[in-house]
A and B are shown apart, each in its own frame.
Chain A
């Protein structure tokens, strides 16, 4: 058996990857779930790019492991990285809003149309 430390750990959900290749560990990059939960959601979290510090508090509490990190697209931001929510897997529980110490996450209704100011 291959050394587990060398086992491929997928980055994000990838249907091309065979479970035979990844079943050696229960540890995946966040957002990697084999079944989506999006249909459960009535509200979705949105992250304020200017406030998020990527402290990862939401990652620690997210029950669906839907939090992942990206490079901050805002060039003038103090923080190089920020978190995003993989909406394929987020079931809209809002725990991330409760635990965020910077007030950078809020829930908006799914029925709400996509608007720039909600990003």
Chain B
């Protein structure tokens, strides 16, 4: 496999080139990333046989992708931040219509005050819109997710659109060496999309209809089942991927040094790399620290989370998100798993990296110190904004 020096954006463009969607629809203005620029170049120079559609807004970009999928073709679009929020209305049309569209989202700050730096408030705000949400840690994972996303989304038991999330700047605009699979190997893996919920002139079908109160719930229930099925399919697809390309992925979450640990930091996306290094340093110093990296936020891998977190003393959920007036949404999700599985531990929430604020090694060190103190029964604050609140009380 050739190695290329790519940004996260370009890695996604390479991955999508290999997955060969029939149509790419996108709106090119900020906060859009260079992913769609590269894809338009691939189409222009003949490296990718797709129809490239310039549309007039992000709302139209996803609406076009829905039309493409309803015609039985494979669709891709990409967006970020306010663009994703502008798409919000169409997100539920795509998921409710069971159209297996793949979209890349660059996680960037939301207005106001707006900027183009990384934070995860855009996608996490749309957690309930019925899309699978995966969070890449590096450019290689982003490329590999592009190939796996179509297989997972198009699986007949899943039929759910797929959002690949990349941290703004940290992943989208930094470069690394990436393995790019061979065209044929990639296409053999991804396969062609065989749609059956699509327009047909021979047997005219009804797409995008209403369903009254007596019927509506059954569709929503089936959507829920489809999303739950994705957990099993993610595992199957990752095993197939490993057999073909040699890179293994651990399912919807990754546990790092969680087997004999007392303290844990749970996070998602690119910041996992820094936390993993801090785990290594802490362990050299005799601190039993582990990392849980959530790779998928929807479907939420509740069983795997419970397995990973059972038996530890203290947990910090570190996230680039805040639900104002409550707490971080990832924290809320994790606490519901702890309650369901009757896992008792001390846990606190650190809100960090908002608007692209750097999370530094000394910040993680401070979190680890707090975890150690908590394990020695010191009082602590349940919710902390990194760099604003003090981590320890008193």
Determine how close the nearest CB of chain A comes to the CB of B69; give it in whole angstroms.
11
B-binding segment of A24-32, A43-51, A92-100, A102-110? A24-32
**Contact (Cβ within 8 A) A27 B204:** no
**Contact (Cβ within 8 A) A27 B207:** yes
Is there a chain A Cβ closer than 8 Å to B380's Cβ?
no
Is there a chain B Cβ closer than 8 Å to A52's Cβ?
no
Is there a chain B Cβ closer than 8 Å to A82's Cβ?
no
Count of chain A to chain B residue pairs whose CB atoms are closer than 8 Å in the complex? 81
**Contact (Cβ within 8 A) A59 B201:** yes
Of residues 11 to 38 in A, which have CB atoms within 8 Å of B's CB atoms?
19-20, 23-35
A67's nearest neighbour on chain B, judged by CB, is B204
B219's nearest neighbour on chain A, judged by CB, is A23
Given contacts A1-B225, A4-B156, A19-B215, contact A32 B209 (CB under 8 A): yes
Q: What's the Cα separation between A19 and B206 when bound, in Å?
A: 15
A residues near B98, Cβ cutoff 8 Å: 25-26
**Contact (Cβ within 8 A) A26 B198:** no
Is there a chain B Cβ closer than 8 Å to A71's Cβ?
no
Number of interface residues of A (CB under 8 A): 28
**Contact (Cβ within 8 A) A32 B206:** yes
A residues near B196, Cβ cutoff 8 Å: 4-5, 25, 27
Of residues 155 to 174 in B, which have CB atoms within 8 Å of A's CB atoms?
156-157, 159
**Contact (Cβ within 8 A) B212 A24:** no
A residues near B207, Cβ cutoff 8 Å: 26-27, 65
- Point out residues on B near A: beta carbons under 8 Å: 96-98, 156-157, 159, 196-199, 201, 203-212, 214-215, 218-219, 221-222, 225, 229
- Point out residues on A near B: beta carbons under 8 Å: 1, 3-5, 9, 19-20, 23-35, 56, 59-60, 64-65, 67-69
Can you add 9 more A-B contacts, CB < 8 Å, to A65-B205, A68-B204? A3-B156, A23-B221, A25-B197, A26-B208, A26-B209, A28-B209, A30-B206, A33-B211, A34-B214
